């Protein structure tokens, strides 16, 4: 895997791979996406567990930094704008109508919208940059750049839960500790 020097919405540099930690690189949809917000909030409230596991959380959106800032300002991890979808293409993360047409995502959409209303989140744009049909992707990247695990979603809510992601990192850190 090649190395990337990405820039977060705050302007901070984000190296991929991270030389000291496993990176959970997750591809989300658009700024304000209710499914994405619900998912990322589950990672935010348990961020200490992610850090304790030696994982750097990085979320990529196909929105501009300006669009993202108001939706992700309170997240405790790096958020990367990729409005041209260059990273999506490189990692094979696709889009398609099945993102929203798959009935398995419908309950998650409703939960995301209701949670956003309770938090008084700003509604997403009617025509978000990159469209509404983005699919999620999850990648665990070791410090040496190797892909430890990956998942390409088949609908908008098809992604690793925090517990699934943490379970996948355990074998990686045992292996890294034995080498070190």
Tens of pLDDT, residue by residue over 80-134, are 999 999 999 999 998 776 666 677 766 776 666 666 666 666 666 667 666 667 7
pLDDT attached to residue 174: 47
pLDDT attached to residue 110: 65
Say if CB 93 and CB 137 are below 8 A apart.
yes
pLDDT attached to residue 115: 64
Where are any strands of DSSP class E within 28-168? Answer: 55-61, 78-81, 137-141, 147-152
Tens of pLDDT, residue by residue over 20-36, are 999 999 999 888 888 78
pLDDT attached to residue 99: 64
Q: Does 11 have pLDDT greater than 80?
A: yes
* Own/partner long-range contacts of 174-180 (Cβ < 8 Å, ≥24 apart): 176/142, 176/143
Q: Which domains does the chain have, with CATH numbers?
A: 4-179 (3.40.30.10)
Tens of pLDDT, residue by residue over 32-83, are 888 788 888 899 999 999 999 999 999 999 999 998 998 888 899 999 999 9
Say if CB 135 and CB 79 are below 8 A apart.
no
pLDDT attached to residue 152: 93
Q: Does 160 have pLDDT greater than 70?
A: yes
pLDDT attached to residue 38: 83
Cα–Cα distances (Å) from 46 to 15, 77, 96, 170, in that order, read 23, 11, 31, 17
Buried b (16+ CB within 10 A) or exposed e, 25-38: bbbbbbbbbbbbbb
State pTM to two decimals: 0.82
């Amino acid at each position: 895997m090649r190395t990337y020097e990405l820039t977060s919405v705050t302007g901070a540099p984000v190296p991929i791979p991270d030389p000291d930690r496993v990176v959970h690189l997750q591809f989300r949809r658009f700024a304000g996406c209710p499914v994405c917000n619900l998912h990322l909030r589950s990672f935010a409230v348990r961020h200490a567990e992610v850090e304790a596991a030696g994982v750097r959380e990085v979320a990529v959106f196909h929105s501009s930094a300006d669009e993202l800032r108001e939706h992700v300002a309170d997240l405790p991890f790096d958020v990367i704008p990729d409005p041209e979808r260059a990273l999506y293409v490189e990692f094979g993360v696709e889009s398609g109508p099945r993102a929203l047409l798959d009935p398995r995502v419908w309950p998650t959409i409703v939960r995301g919208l209701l949670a956003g209303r309770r938090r008084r989140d700003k509604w997403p744009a009617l025509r978000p940059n990159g469209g509404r049909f983005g699919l999620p992707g999850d990648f665990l990247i070791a410090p040496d750049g190797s892909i430890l695990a990956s998942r390409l979603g088949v609908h908008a809510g098809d992604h690793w839960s925090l517990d699934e992601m943490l379970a996948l990192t355990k074998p990686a850190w045992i292996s890294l500790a034995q080498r070190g």
